[in-house]
Amino acid sequence: MVSSRERSSLSSIRRPAGRPFRRRGFLHLAAGLAASTALSALGASCGTLVAGTPPSIQGEVLVWAPPLSADDSAYWSPLSESLRQAHPRLDLKVETVPWAGRSQRLLTATASGGVPDVAYVSRDLIPRLADDSSIVAVDGLLAPELRDDLHPRIRAQAPYRERFWGVPAVVSIHLPFVNINLASAAGLGNDASPSDWTSLTDWGRRLTIPPDRWGLAHRWSSDTAAHTLIGWIWQAGGEVVEEPNGRQALFNSDAGVEALAYVKSLFDAGYVQIADKYGQGAEFGSGRIGVLLWGSVGTPSQLASTTPGLAYTVGGAIAGRRRVATGMLASYAILSAAPNRPGAEALARLLARPQSLARIARVTGYLPPVRSLSAESLWPGDVARARMLAQIDHIRLDIQHPYARTLSRILAEEGQAALIDRKTPAEALANAARRFAAEVSR
């Protein structure tokens, strides 16, 4: 029989909007909680925070986080029980916030009050929160062994102003996905992928069969250039802006113009469908696209759901003058105005353990930020994620700058203007530089 305390712990994890917990999973979890041996094993699997329970670590700790999987309770529920094992008077409540508007909601809350104790925060938002003293540095909560375990590229790029402002938790990387059948039919092999700009152009040419088969898919967004133009600029050997607080645009350079001109040439040659200029082209899952630029950690699950019969492979990072794969890092940050700071710190210590990161990665499919967790241990037999994890040495994370999102939007808009021939690549980047200068001078 499940005790009232255990029922309280389960009910404190709020359901994602419009998606109730699965009853079978809930009953299985309840049965597991009723068995003391299962509880002991569960606590051991995520590690013990501290011996004993200081009286100050009690009450409720509230987390704001977007949905990372179809059933986030699959990792939050056992993490909640591990936290309860270490701190019997501490209750974890997770409020699922929609992806759309989540950052603005957090910024509004930090200005007006009503913040959670802990929030899921992407790397590009940290400067605004840290500079406003809305979140606290967590260096003292990260054990030295965790820092040593971080992938070198993550360890080098995660800090802001040389400090950690959250527990690094999930990583995404953007890589080419190749339709194996189309590539094989074009004589490109059944387990190959383009490796640089020259071979990418060749693949685009050989895989394109007008009027309804395209060698490449490159959906352009007018909202963000994080994984479109910015990645091309980095591959061309250029920079976008000096991190963490540069006020001068660096993308308006020979490398920047070369990058935008190159991606435009792929569209102009007909290797990418015109509708992709507006983010409305045919999906990779349609079977009419040779190479998807760029797939991410969510792509395998999406393809398994929509087109389970599609044969594909994941390619490596593509090189211009530099070999770069764009990526994203999200951390769990503690709010400065957290109502329950001791509880938030206890949760942060738990999340900073490899066993906890493994729980999150297994359920969500996001890559772990640490080296000790292998693809085979997390997703046995999942070749796609194994290949993504193998490319993490080439990852370059989202820009970390107070104006990162504004800059990304400006580049997306001006890049699109070049794609649709309203401006030349040089004119588009020059105008983007002027717009960025106007923003930072306000």
DSSP for 59-83, written as a single string = EEEEEEE---SS-THHHHHHHHHHH
DSSP H helices in 319-398: 341-351, 354-364, 375-378, 383-390
Dist CA 338 CA 318 (whole Å): 42
- Length of the chain equals 442
Residue 12, pLDDT score: 43
- pLDDT reading at 19 higher than 70: no
Residue 261, pLDDT score: 98
Residue 356, pLDDT score: 98
Predicted confidence (pLDDT) per residue in 350-383, tens digit = 999 999 999 999 999 999 999 999 999 999 999 9
CB 290 within 8 A of CB 182: yes
Residues 64 and 184 in one domain: no
Residue 56, pLDDT score: 77
Strands 175-179 and 118-122, sheet pairing: unpaired
Average pLDDT rounded to a whole number, residues 216-243: 96
Predicted confidence (pLDDT) per residue in 228-238, tens digit = 999 999 999 99
Number of independent structural domains in the chain: 2
pLDDT tier, 55 (very low <50, low <70, confident <90, very high otherwise) = low
CB 330 within 8 A of CB 64: no
Least confident of 20-24, 248-252, 328-332, 352-356: 20-24
Give the CATH number of the domain where residue 130 resides.
3.40.190.10
Residues 405 and 367 in one domain: no
What rounded mean pLDDT belongs to the chain? Answer: 89
Residue 16, pLDDT score: 41
Residue 43, pLDDT score: 37
CB 415 within 8 A of CB 428: yes
Dist CA 420 CA 115 (whole Å): 43
Give the burial class of 3: count Cβ atoms within 10 A of its Cβ; 0-12 exposed, 13-18 middle, 19 or more buried: exposed
Residues 223 and 365 in one domain: no
Residue 240, pLDDT score: 97
- pLDDT reading at 266 higher than 50: yes
Residue at a domain's end among 358, 374, 394: 394
pLDDT tier, 8 (very low <50, low <70, confident <90, very high otherwise) = very low
- Residue 258's CB is within 10 A of a number of other CB atoms, namely 19
Residue type, 111: A
Strands 118-122 and 59-65, sheet pairing: parallel
pLDDT tier, 9 (very low <50, low <70, confident <90, very high otherwise) = very low
Least confident of 33-42, 114-123, 165-174, 323-332: 33-42
Predicted confidence (pLDDT) per residue in 271-287, tens digit = 999 999 999 999 999 99
CB 233 within 8 A of CB 425: no
CB 279 within 8 A of CB 221: yes
Rounded to two decimals, what is the model's pTM? 0.86
- Residue reference for tokens 């051991």: 44
CB 317 within 8 A of CB 231: no
Residues 260 and 409 in one domain: yes
Residue type, 421: D
Residues 349 and 285 in one domain: no
Residue 114 belongs to what domain range?
4-173+330-394
Residues 311 and 338 in one domain: no
Residues 121 and 233 in one domain: no
Percent of the chain with pLDDT over 90: 86
Predicted confidence (pLDDT) per residue in 56-88, tens digit = 799 999 999 999 999 999 999 999 999 999 999
Predicted confidence (pLDDT) per residue in 406-420, tens digit = 999 999 999 999 999
Predicted confidence (pLDDT) per residue in 181-207, tens digit = 999 999 999 999 999 999 999 999 999
- Residue reference for tokens 């895989």: 207
pLDDT tier, 245 (very low <50, low <70, confident <90, very high otherwise) = confident
Residues 192 and 272 in one domain: yes
Residues 152 and 231 in one domain: no
Residues 409 and 390 in one domain: no
pLDDT tier, 248 (very low <50, low <70, confident <90, very high otherwise) = very high
- Residue 56's CB is within 10 A of a number of other CB atoms, namely 13
pLDDT tier, 54 (very low <50, low <70, confident <90, very high otherwise) = low
- pLDDT reading at 18 higher than 70: no
Residues 145 and 253 in one domain: no
CB 356 within 8 A of CB 169: no
- pLDDT reading at 28 higher than 80: no
Residues 410 and 315 in one domain: yes
- Give residues with Cβ within 8 angstroms of 130, minimum separation 6: 137, 160, 161, 163, 165
